[in-house]
Structure 1
């Protein structure tokens, strides 16, 4: 017995009380039931979760009749596609009728056609490593397309020809890159060739579906492998062309670091700095997009030196546009954009020009993103010059220590003016309105510049501001 098979046995034993009982219910009614797809793959890898996928020859209404009264909960949101979901003993089970579906050739949407045998169902799946099944309760293993061997070899192949598979569902091309990132597998050469030739077919897929696959890819174990595959096959150009655009031409007269390779290193560094917290999409996306403003801002000076002035501003704008086009939630987009805009702020600290006021502004502008900004800034140091790298690291250590010192003295996380709106209205004798807001912002800027003021100082500064702006005589 191979290691993969031993893993599968151990994982199946863990879930077998539920899975086998369900299998017996289907068998008693004259139906087949198989654990299938990603669940079998993950069992063989020794990482089976609590979401299990099954296939059966029973139609959805027959499945419903078999699980009612047995399942702890039932949902029918996938019924039109032949899937019934149930909850049992903390496990989420999805049971899908055998399918031999085709696609309409224009969109991602399948035209559902029920099949009548396991082999056809497995043939229509995306990759061989997802085209294996285990019968229940008998635990007979079915692997008609060599998925077990491909799993052992760490290679991604399709059951049918890649062109036929991707023609049915172009999203599978992006999914191939996602599995390369998730499993650290390589993509079979014919699969990669088909991805390159058919990249334009990805335009048939909705932005939301692309977004979801790309998010999973970027949060994979090895996102760099997936990103390289997207760029090399031209898939990235279909939905996030800014990444391929980082491959700036480098000539012998105007040299600069390879921005594309630098970006991949920054993403890799950010993954490493996540620690045990798990994948942080916002941090990884900010690392990926932090330099996308460079192509538009590249300039060569008279001395031959290359500069990218204000690329963080341009990059933040491009990032917002791209994430909006991919239908990311506004809060996620805002966090990534803010990190891209702030990623250069630290450079210059080492020259000794930062006052405590500058540190307060750095912390206040970052807000809740400060821990991520720390990681992004450190990730962005990719110089091969050890002395320079050590100096940058020491400078950022010093900044973090300085932030900690000031935070110990002041509550930087909640910087507010020393007088609130009610006090401003009472002192100036003004009603709620624009003047109060202007005064509040003035006092906040003063608080950032000088730190906490006592009540008398704050009132004196408010009076001075009000006189200068004609709000009192």
Structure 2
């Protein structure tokens, strides 16, 4: 492995009488031919000494992690983090370790989360250090822990979420003893803050194999504490099979939505969350009807509310919460399209309600088709093709991306003699609804409609004579 920045650091630390090891995920990724520009090191030097050794060499430095023994630096496009050997002790009640510095690399590696992250390279001698057979685990693509999994997860329960995240990102499986420990200790995840759990969940969803990670989270009981709506979607199927397995259907929709993402772009977290959660409103709305049928009336409305509540609990940003909830709310709208019966007004409303989410909504609706009936699936895709073509035609004529009333607020106030206030907003919304229903109006027609509305509201416009 050739990395000049690492060799330069090794020279500085060795000449100063200190050890420096490349460690953790950096070594793992190098062995998997996926090494990036982020390098992790461990050293026997204490944090203040590390700062001294970086001074004059680094292009930039930061010490936000110095309380945990970590200094960060940047050099020629590479980011490095150097952490003093650790031998942390956990009180197993709080969420953070009591930092204690170690003396050897072996002390440091045994406290790491998984054996594939417990390998190191001595930067002075290039000797490979692997006391827990991380290389063997990497070759077998298995996640195991250096200590017993019970000790590891008791120290930091977030490691259980990291396990399912690595399954998603790397396609690994978990060792039987790790699987058993997660099942036994899943409830311990409640010791962890929502923000840290959310970060792992997001990385899981943006991995290459998110279905595997989600299934592991559900099967071990972790989802009961992190995202309980998922296991609740495993509805018992009635003897007549009047509806799909909602949980399995949602996993397929997730995979199909991922297939529709643009190539060579970052994973779309909002789309993936919406695909996974689009039907979470089904369990509380399921009703059996006479004749053996089943209904889920308004599950999109209920689901949108549930999404908002859960994602807020997980401390997602307001933008992500609202975007995912809106996609869940709109995902059924297309099914009213039939064979093209929508009026142009309905098409405009579909586009306007989706707003900047329209492209994602297209993908979600297409992904939501999981029928095994090829003829039915093809018909649904053709129908959606037709809807997209209609949207394009109308958009070309009317600039649907920016549907606004034909009169702006200033003109409304001038024509009606109104000061800024609620009545202006009410008039603006009336004209926007009219615009959606009838398309663009010419200026005189818009003024006539505004005056007609004002008369119905008992608003007397000023005399313009």
Which TM-score tier does this pair reach, normalised by the shorter chain?
A: over 0.9
| Structure-1 separation of matches of 2:12 and 2:241 | 72
| CA distance in structure 1 between the aligned counterparts of 2:325 and 2:240, rounded to whole angstroms | 33
**Residue in structure 1 matching 2:369, options 381, 384, 387:** 381
**2:51 aligned with 1:64:** yes
Q: Is the 8 A contact 1:417 1:443 kept in 2?
A: yes
1:19 paired to 2:9: no
Give the root-mean-square deviation of aligned CA atoms: 1.0
What secondary structure, in the 3-state scheme, does the structure 2 residue paired with 1:457 have?
helix
1:123 to 110, 120, 135: 110
Spell out the pairing of 1:155-174 with structure 2 (5 A cutoff).
155-174=142-161
| 2-structure distance, mates of 1:286, 1:273 | 14
Q: 1:253: Cα distance to partner? A: 4.1
TM-superposed deviation, 1:157: 0.7
3-state SS of 2:459 partner: coil
Q: Per-residue deviation at 1:103?
A: 1.2
Cα offset for 1:289? 0.8
Matched, 1:100 2:121: no
Q: What is the CA distance between 1:429 and its match in structure 2? A: 1.7
Other structure's SS at 2:64 match: coil
Asked whether the 8 Å contact 2:340–2:383 carries over to 1, the reply is no
CA distance in 2, matches of 1:447, 1:363: 13
Give the Å deviation of 1:194.
Answer: 0.3
Contact 1:266/1:382 (8 A) holds in 2 = yes
Q: How many Å separate the matches in 2 of 1:372 and 1:411?
A: 19
**Residues 1:369 and 2:357 aligned together:** yes
Q: For 2:72 and 2:340, locate their aligned partners in 1 and report how far apart those are by CA, in whole Å.
A: 61
> Among 56, 65, 68, which residue is 1:81 paired with?
68
Match of 2:311 in 1: 323
Normalised by the length of structure 1, the TM-score is: 0.96
What is the number of equivalent residue pairs in this alignment?
460
Aligned equivalent of 1:7? none
Q: Which runs of 5+ in 2 are unaligned?
A: none
Output aligned runs, 1:8-407, within 5 Å: 12-13=1-2, 15=3, 17-253=4-240, 255-276=242-263, 277-407=265-395
Task: Work out whether residues 31 and 58 of structure 1, in 8 Å CA contact, stay in contact via their aligned partners in 2.
Answer: yes
SS in 1 for 2:335: coil
TM-score (norm 2): 0.98
Deviation of 1:353 (Å): 2.4
Question: In the alignment, is the contact (CA less than 8 A) between 2:340 and 2:386 conserved in 1?
Answer: no
User: Structure 2 CA distance, aligned partners of 1:146 and 1:340?
Assistant: 45
Distance in 1 separating the partners of 2:394 and 2:385: 14
Tell me the distance in 1 between the aligned counterparts of 2:258 and 2:126. 38
CA distance in 1, matches of 2:241, 2:373: 19
Deviations 1:39-88 (A, max 9, x none): 00111111111111000000001111111111111101000000011111
The answer to whether the Cα contact below 8 Å between 1:100 and 1:114 also exists between their aligned partners in 2 is yes
Q: Distance in 2 between matches of 1:250 and 1:399?
A: 33
What is the alpha-carbon distance in structure 2 between the residues aligned to residue 56 and residue 201 of structure 1?
32
